[in-house]
Chain A
Amino acid sequence: MWRALLVVLFAAVANGSTPRYPSPDDMVLSPDGRHLYVVCGGTDELVAVDRLSAKVEGRVAVGRLPRGVAVSPDGRRIYVANSWSDTVSEIDATQLKVIRNLPAGFEPTGVAVDGRGEFLYAGNRLGNDVSVIDLKTGSDVRRLLAGRGTSWMTAAPVGSRVFVTHIYPNPGRFRAQPQSEITEIDTASRTIAARLPLANVAGVFHVAVSRDGRLGIATQMRPKNLVPLAHVEHGWVFGSSIAVFGEAVGGVVQLPLDEIESFFSLPFGVAISPDGSKAYVSASGSNEVAILDVRRLVAAAKSKDAAALANDLSASSRYVTARIPVGRQPRTVVLSPDGGTLYVADRLDDKVTVIDTAAAKVTGEIQLGAPAEMTAERLGERLFYSSEFSWNHQFGCANCHLDSTFDGLTWDLEPDGFGVDIVDNRLLEDVGGTAPFKWNGGNPDLATECGIRTERFFFRSQGFRGSELEYLVRYIESIPLRPNRYRLPDGQLTPAQERGKAIFERTARKDGTPIPAVNQCFVCHSGPYYTNQTLADVGTGKPTDRSAKIDVPQLTNVAYTAPYLHDGSARTLEEIWTVFNPKDRHGVTNDLTKDELNDLIEYLKTL
């Protein structure tokens, strides 16, 4: 089989074409239930599907890497968040044409429209805020402070609430439990009404609210990043779970979806049936959809032992009634207006799976136009998002590298004792040319980084071998660098960035004394990725590190990847120098004034 796939791969390369896979992500139904709108991030388009015939009825080219979609209450407008264009496309639902592109913040991901169709809300993943867009004027009139990695949102069917979730945890203390939140927006006043705290939670994904507005469910992960990952077979690494909230339960209660030998990896999409009796959750790592009995779910959430259930792997049997296998990386789940049909966006199969909810069975699928060719990169992407390789299928690469990025956490990875060699999770974008890998440069190439090491230290089961490893590496090498928001459109630098560049490239202190080459920023952080790909001891090692020498990290898009340093001990770029560089070993910075340090940081953000 692999040989056949390779033939196809080579054929594609020989044709000089690069196949683009639709990669369906978010979906929404038109208010009348006749149309299913599917956002396809791989082909930068919105695909309209006629529900009756289950056929594609139109395609609309939108901005770069669209991720979220919403429909106006009257069904006349469709809104698509173009995450790499920083815009929201407003589409005429009848003509399937883009009317205008509305400005949003840094990396708009999820969108929602208020009940009157007057204001649009866009969650800006890199801006950590929500754009409030006046649909009359088309302007981004207000930014509401949300959590880190602001991403998905849903408008409650009744009342005036929009609930927002976040792919990354909020910034916090070094090696403390991660904290996230569900941000509740009051669309009447267009302000934040409340923040529902989520303790010990990192990634939070889709959120749904029952038709009566009394129950909310958000999918989430509870990482165990403070204990060595090597203990995966003794417990578990991620709590695949949901946060249940609202009047029906009172407060916020976290409930697991895992079972002790059948983990529900990377829960993502969620929908609640119109009658409020069932909920459906997709597992984008273990490729299935769980059916939850809401009455029993609420009972569990209100039980006396509710607070302890989040870490109880036997708890899900109380309310999960079935699991239905679906395609690869199921993301959004959408229910028909009568609740009889569930649509599942299988992102890595480029199709929508159709489930008869009464029978709890897959009854069909809607193909979205995947190319016939299967590239090595696409095969690698499937491996990257799959949890089938890890012990009890607990997790895959994508559990830490969420949406192929990072997770904002520091980890204790290897079996070297508690608290030894803490590592910050790094960004994977454009990482191919930055060897060696690992915080101490211990892995000379990605095949070593992702191969036997992953099997031994992470998955504790099988690993990626042979062609699988080759595909995985090809995929990782293909992850593109997202647009940098700090550069001016014409490529020029602002005065502050120019001043910062001069500091970055200086060879002498302000008093004229020369700076040794090893302490000059641009000597170590050189080349296209701003790393000379060597090891250096810059005084940032900790007593618990087994090596003082640290791999010089690439700086591309460094602005987005807090925390910093190899172990994530610097919460901000500023702390790298204000706290962790007392002896000027990590660049000479102690002769800088505060405004000069700010200039340096403004420049670093442009890299």
Chain B
Amino acid sequence: MNTRSVIALFAVACGLAAEDLPRYRWENFTTANGLPDNRVYSVCVDGDRVWAGTDNGLALYQGGKWKVFTPADGLSHRAVLYLAVDKQTHDVWIATLGGLSRYSAGRFDTFTQLTSGLANDVVYGVALQGDFVWVATAAGGSRLNTRTGEWSLFNERNTPMYEIWTYNVTAAPDKVYYAVWGGGVLEYDVATERWKDYNDPDGETEIVLLKDQGLIHEITTSVSYVNHVLWAATYFGASRYDGRNWRNFLDKDSGLPSNFLNQVKTVDGTRTWFSSDKGLAYFDGERWATYRPALDTGRPEMLVRDASGSVSHVAVDSAPAHHYTFGVDFQGNDIWVATAKGLSHGIRIPTGEGK
């Protein structure tokens, strides 16, 4: 086989590898076209409505227009860190640096540590579970029963949470998971009302001696739980736990563009998205894709890593607004990405198109 044949085969292989991996045409939103701030911490999709939490207010994209909400409208703080939508009522729960807000059909209600049972005003995450609102704060977890108004706090006094800086929370009917920054992952079992913690068997070090023996690192930033599979993102890699086995992912042995992960969001327990400081990554169970402006040139880039570890470039003409990504949410086949330099809408390119 000559060199030309090898190159041709490689290109075909890359084409096949990219075949099933999603490709997008990216539209980016910044302050130039309606966002209140380019630093977008969170994005949350509710049908045709897209909510963006920025460093300077909450923004709603609907019908091709942005509407911005600030503390003057009742928002508890300008810095919006995380969002969750109640799919039944379409109320939006808003985690901010100054408390928790609820937006309901034009009205903001605010909960703070002074006016309510909320543990702390620095609110990093929020998740909904029926009538319960689970909140991640800098002083532990809080849970609001929206039917009775009762607040329950979870911290070092009533859980195995030895570090109370909760950074993210995800809730399902059977389990609730907290990402505890510096404290691993905390699990709440709904049936037994008991807590359990998952920690790095190597301790709080960057050394991975016991790979796949447990959580990759104690500094967890995000959790995602779907189909009884838990994913955890840390600043030192990602972990997947199916209830029996752990599997860990590092940039050196996976398609992760970086070990520094701000968010993990799984679609079905296998197909999973990672928001990192060096791009947005997707894992389909075998292969990886990374979407970003190239770190050196800034040109649109899509990298594909196949099951064997070979990495190739897929020609693209657009990319997310920035490689520093905070989080994603899905809108049908499309994806929305919160980045440090704007909000990006990835419009899915149908398979076979645009080659």
Partners in one complex: yes
Cβ contact within 8 Å between A195 and B106: yes
Annotate B93-132 by CB proximity to A: 1 below 8 A, 0 otherwise.
Answer: 0000000001011110100011111011000000000010
Cβ contact within 8 Å between B102 and A145: yes
Q: Which residues of B contact A181 (CB under 8 A)?
A: 107
Q: Which residue of A129, A486, A598 has the most chain B CB atoms within 10 A of its CB atom?
A: A598
Q: Is B197 located at the chain interface by the 8 A CB criterion?
A: no
Cβ contact within 8 Å between B88 and A496: no
Cβ of A164 to closest chain B Cβ, rounded Å: 12
Q: Which residues of A contact B104 (CB under 8 A)?
A: 145, 192, 195
Interface size on A, residues (CB 8 A): 31
CA distance A194 to B107 in the complex (A): 9
Contact of A195 among B90, B107, B113, B116 (CB under 8 A): B107
Cβ contact within 8 Å between A191 and B90: yes
Q: Is B155 located at the chain interface by the 8 A CB criterion?
A: yes
Q: Is A59 located at the chain interface by the 8 A CB criterion?
A: no
Q: Is A13 located at the chain interface by the 8 A CB criterion?
A: no
9 A-B pairs in the complex with CB atoms less than 8 angstroms apart: A143-B89, A181-B107, A192-B105, A194-B105, A496-B152, A572-B115, A574-B117, A594-B120, A594-B153
Cβ contact within 8 Å between B117 and A145: no
CA distance A598 to B150 in the complex (A): 8
Q: Is B338 located at the chain interface by the 8 A CB criterion?
A: no
Q: Is B252 located at the chain interface by the 8 A CB criterion?
A: no
> Which A residues from 474 to 516 make CB contacts under 8 A with B?
485-486, 496
Known: A181-B107, A575-B115, A578-B113. A191 touches B89 (CB 8 A): yes
Contact of A601 among B106, B114, B117, B158 (CB under 8 A): B117
> Which A residues from 552 to 606 make CB contacts under 8 A with B?
571-572, 574-575, 578-579, 593-595, 597-598, 601-602
Q: Which residues of A contact B102 (CB under 8 A)?
A: 145
Known: A145-B104, A193-B105, A578-B113. A595 touches B155 (CB 8 A): yes
Cβ contact within 8 Å between B115 and A145: no
* CB-based closest 5 A-B pairs: A192-B105, A595-B153, A578-B114, A598-B117, A145-B104
CA distance A351 to B204 in the complex (A): 77
Annotate A340-353 by CB proximity to B: 1 below 8 A, 0 otherwise.
Answer: 00000000000000
Annotate A172-185 by CB proximity to B: 1 below 8 A, 0 otherwise.
Answer: 00000000010100
Q: Is B244 located at the chain interface by the 8 A CB criterion?
A: no
Q: Which residues of B contact A572 (CB under 8 A)?
A: 115-116
CA distance A344 to B148 in the complex (A): 36
CA distance A192 to B104 in the complex (A): 8
Contact of A192 among B89, B120, B146, B148 (CB under 8 A): B89
Cβ of B51 to closest chain A Cβ, rounded Å: 16
Q: Which residues of B contact A194 (CB under 8 A)?
A: 105-106
Known: A143-B147, A181-B107, A195-B106. A571 touches B89 (CB 8 A): no
Contact of B114 among A143, A183, A574, A602 (CB under 8 A): A574
CA distance A191 to B85 in the complex (A): 13
Q: Which residues of B contact A594 (CB under 8 A)?
A: 113, 117, 119-120, 139, 153
Q: Is A295 located at the chain interface by the 8 A CB criterion?
A: no
* Inter-chain pairs besides A191-B105, A578-B115, 4 sampled, C-beta below 8 Å: A145-B102, A191-B90, A192-B90, A594-B119
Cβ of A130 to closest chain B Cβ, rounded Å: 10
Cβ of B143 to closest chain A Cβ, rounded Å: 11
Q: Is B61 located at the chain interface by the 8 A CB criterion?
A: no
Q: Which residues of A contact B88 (CB under 8 A)?
A: 142, 191
Cβ contact within 8 Å between A571 and B115: yes
Q: Which residue of B lies closest to A601 (CB)?
A: B117
Number of contacts between A and B (CB, 8 Å)? 71
CA distance A579 to B115 in the complex (A): 9
CA distance A145 to B107 in the complex (A): 10
Contact of A579 among B89, B114, B151 (CB under 8 A): B114
Main secondary structure of the interface of A (DSSP, over half): mixed
Q: Is A227 located at the chain interface by the 8 A CB criterion?
A: no
Cβ of B84 to closest chain A Cβ, rounded Å: 15
Q: Which residues of B contact A602 (CB under 8 A)?
A: 150
Cβ contact within 8 Å between B147 and A105: yes
CA distance A601 to B119 in the complex (A): 14
Cβ contact within 8 Å between B91 and A145: yes
Q: Which residue of B lies closest to A181 (CB)?
A: B107
Cβ contact within 8 Å between A575 and B114: yes
Cβ of A9 to closest chain B Cβ, rounded Å: 42
Cβ of A510 to closest chain B Cβ, rounded Å: 13
Cβ of A121 to closest chain B Cβ, rounded Å: 13
Q: Which residue of A lies closest to B91 (CB)?
A: A145
Q: Is B157 located at the chain interface by the 8 A CB criterion?
A: yes
Cβ of A103 to closest chain B Cβ, rounded Å: 11
Q: Which residue of A lies closest to B154 (CB)?
A: A595
Cβ of B136 to closest chain A Cβ, rounded Å: 15
Q: Which residues of A contact B119 (CB under 8 A)?
A: 594-595
Q: Is A420 located at the chain interface by the 8 A CB criterion?
A: no
Q: Is A127 located at the chain interface by the 8 A CB criterion?
A: yes
CA distance A372 to B310 in the complex (A): 95
CA distance A145 to B90 in the complex (A): 11
Cβ contact within 8 Å between B146 and A143: yes
Q: Is A452 located at the chain interface by the 8 A CB criterion?
A: no
Q: Which residues of B contact A574 (CB under 8 A)?
A: 114-117
Cβ contact within 8 Å between B153 and A598: yes
Q: Which residues of B contact A54 (CB under 8 A)?
A: none
Q: Which residues of B contact A598 (CB under 8 A)?
A: 117, 151-153
Q: Which residue of B89, B113, B157 has the most chain A CB atoms within 10 A of its CB atom?
A: B89
Q: Is A144 located at the chain interface by the 8 A CB criterion?
A: yes
> Which A residues from 27 to 79 make CB contacts under 8 A with B?
none
Q: Which residues of B contact A192 (CB under 8 A)?
A: 89-90, 104-105
Cβ of B138 to closest chain A Cβ, rounded Å: 12
Q: Which residues of A contact B148 (CB under 8 A)?
A: 485-486
Q: Which residues of A contact B105 (CB under 8 A)?
A: 145, 183, 191-195
Cβ contact within 8 Å between B153 and A144: no
Q: Which residue of A lies closest to B119 (CB)?
A: A594
Cβ of A492 to closest chain B Cβ, rounded Å: 16
Q: Which residues of B contact A593 (CB under 8 A)?
A: 157
Contact of B89 among A142, A195, A575, A601 (CB under 8 A): A142
Q: Which residue of A lies closest to B105 (CB)?
A: A192
Q: Which residues of B contact A191 (CB under 8 A)?
A: 88-90, 105
CA distance A579 to B104 in the complex (A): 27
Q: Which residue of B lies closest to A124 (CB)?
A: B147
Cβ of A590 to closest chain B Cβ, rounded Å: 13
Q: Which residue of A lies closest to B137 (CB)?
A: A594
CA distance A578 to B114 in the complex (A): 5
Cβ of A369 to closest chain B Cβ, rounded Å: 37
Q: Which residues of A contact B146 (CB under 8 A)?
A: 143
Q: Which residues of A contact B131 (CB under 8 A)?
A: 143
> Which B residues from 256 to 313 make CB contacts under 8 A with A?
none
Cβ of B132 to closest chain A Cβ, rounded Å: 12
Q: Which residue of A181, A594, A598 has the most chain B CB atoms within 10 A of its CB atom?
A: A594
